[in-house]
Amino acid sequence: MSVRQSLLAILDQGPCYGYQLRAEFDRRTGSTWPLNVGQIYNTLERLERDGLVARGDADEHGHVYFEITDAGRLEVRDWLSSPVERSAGTRDELAIKLAVAATLPGVDVAEVIQTQRRASLAQLQSLQRAKYAGADPDGPEELAWALVVDSMIFAAEAEVRWLDHTEQRLALHPRHAMALELSTERPKRGRPAATVVERAQRDETQELSR
């Protein structure tokens, strides 16, 4: 989640002070990712340093308003018109946990999966209850909140499907055949070999450049 670009996009609607920015961010995301005021002002200071916002004068209540600059507006346009790129190096804790557990002798991976499935299903049910608790599904704030919740529901559903797939796949392999003992080979120093994802991305880039 880009706090920087989100705050810039809000400031593109008009000058705001810190607490106001936090309230506006919450309105647009259903308070799903609450920001503290310290985080808001730290981000504003970096935006000001980068020439994307300008600090105005304080009003009679002591609120210091920040206003977006032309460079800030350009960054907002670039952000909104560009796709969100998922980093190939992002580590998924659950995927790593199950991959490691599947190779450890004496670990009941089926129980690990069952434990996670119960937690994932509970989260999914909680999200579904929250979605249908809205009072005005046609209101702008409710719609923005519903979009965020829908994203979380789809992610939770995908996680449950992946757990089912993992369980079925592991069932095809004898448990003893999956265990990995510690290797006796000394690892070589230097940069690790490219991962499968990195090699696929490199091949795709080379193909597109032809």
The answer to whether 120 and 160 have CB atoms below 8 angstroms apart is: yes
Residue 26 structure tokens: 């919450």
What is the band of 176 on the pLDDT scale with cuts at 50, 70, 90?
low
Residues 94 and 159 sit within 8 Å (Cβ to Cβ): yes
Q: What DSSP line would sit under 162-195, residue for residue? A: HHHHHHHHHHTS-HHHH--PPP-SPPPSSSPPPP
Q: What is the per-residue pLDDT across 36-69, written as a single tens digit (0 to 9) for each? A: 889 999 999 999 999 999 999 888 899 999 999 9
The token duo for 126 is 């909680």
Report which of 56, 68, 63 is spatially closest to residue 4, judged by C-alpha positions.
Answer: 68
pLDDT at 1 over 60: no
- Structure token digits, residue 131: 């979605």
φ and ψ at residue 149, rounded to 5 degrees: -65, -40
pTM over 0.75: no
Q: Give pLDDT, residue 5.
A: 92
Distance CA 101, CA 83 (A): 34
The answer to whether residue 19 scores a pLDDT higher than 80 is: yes
pLDDT, tens digit, 9 for 90 and up, residues 140-161: 887 888 888 899 999 999 999 9
Place of tokens 């994932």: 120
The angle, 0 to 180 degrees and rounded to 10, between the axes of the packed helices 3-11 and 70-81 is 120
